[in-house]
């Protein structure tokens, strides 16, 4: 029987190592500590959790389901220990190709990149959002560039662009009603390594994404109300 996530979090234990500068999928972390993280579905594996992380969302692929579905739980560091925030675990949609190592990620492959990444800018269709985070209310001029030949590749642009292709951030669907940037391949940007990796909304059918992580609107709302703009926020995507 799979242990509860609460029990798993209680068993998180720090190992005695400190790494030098590491690079995870284009996101540089100056220091990290190795943490023994019992994975909820697979064998126990080690992952590098950034030392400055204070709030974290962990996403694990559900090996008993399909490549495109996983489970998320939220953690907050209190007095040096990670504490689970919500009692339940949150179902998520993943990329149509599942989770892949960041080194294997390519533009248009439909895969969600594994690793630890900061949670960045929040976008919303709405003028008011139940969150303390700063956000941008999008309109038809807002876009995210996915043309790997463009100088604006994997960046946000409002207004005109010479890029040959991009994603509009104001959609007819609910998907980007609340949409946070997962800082994969953003600092620096590597051409062709993947773009527009977001944490956003999904429908009740939980369809596959193009590489993003997506949750129900009700789950997103409580996560956004919890996140603190004064704390370092990360998402950990575990294959």
Per-residue model confidence as pLDDT tens digits over 39-98: 443 333 335 788 899 999 999 887 655 789 999 999 999 988 888 999 888 999 999 999
Per-residue model confidence as pLDDT tens digits over 227-236: 999 999 999 9
Q: Would 59 be classed as within a structural domain?
A: yes
Q: Would 6 be classed as within a structural domain?
A: no
Q: Would 4 be classed as within a structural domain?
A: no
Q: Would 175 be classed as within a structural domain?
A: yes
Structure confidence at residue 49 (pLDDT): 81
Domain count, the chain: 1
Output the domain CATH number for residue 76.
2.40.440.10
Q: Would 36 be classed as within a structural domain?
A: yes
> Does the N-terminal peptide bond of residue 188 adopt cis geometry, omega within 30 degrees of 0?
yes
CA atoms 218, 220, 223, 227: torsion sign: negative
Q: Would 28 be classed as within a structural domain?
A: yes
* pTM, rounded to two decimals: 0.81
Domain of 71?
A: 19-238
Residues 6+ apart with CB under 8 A from 88: none
105-122 burial code (b ≥16 CB/10 A, e <16): bebebbbbbbbbbbbbeb
Task: Yes or no: say if 239 and 67 are a contact pair by the CB < 8 Å rule.
Answer: no
């Amino acid at each position: 029987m799979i242990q509860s996530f609460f029990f798993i979090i209680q068993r998180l234990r720090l190992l005695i190592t400190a790494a030098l500068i590491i690079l995870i999928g284009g996101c540089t972390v100056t220091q990290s500590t190795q943490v023994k993280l019992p994975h909820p579905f697979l064998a126990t594996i080690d992952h590098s959790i950034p030392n400055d992380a204070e709030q974290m969302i962990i996403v694990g692929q559900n090996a008993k389901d399909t490549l495109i579905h996983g489970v998320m739980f939220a953690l907050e560091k209190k007095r040096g220990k990670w504490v689970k925030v919500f009692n339940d675990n949150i179902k998520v949609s993943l990329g149509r190709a599942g989770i892949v190592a960041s080194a294997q990620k390519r533009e248009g492959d439909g895969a969600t990149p594994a690793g630890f990444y900061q949670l960045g800018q929040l976008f919303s269709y709405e003028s008011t959002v139940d969150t303390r985070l700063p956000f941008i209310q999008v309109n038809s001029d807002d876009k995210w560039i996915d043309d790997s030949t463009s100088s604006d590749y994997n960046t946000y642009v409002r207004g005109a662009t010479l890029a040959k292709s991009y994603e509009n951030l104001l959609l007819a669907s609910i998907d980007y009603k609340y949409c946070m940037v997962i800082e994969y391949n953003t600092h620096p940007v590597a051409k062709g390594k993947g773009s527009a990796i977001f944490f956003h909304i999904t429908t009740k059918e939980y369809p596959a994404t193009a590489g993003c992580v997506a949750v129900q609107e009700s789950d997103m709302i409580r996560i956004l109300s919890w996140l603190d703009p004064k704390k370092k926020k990360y998402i950990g995507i575990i294959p």
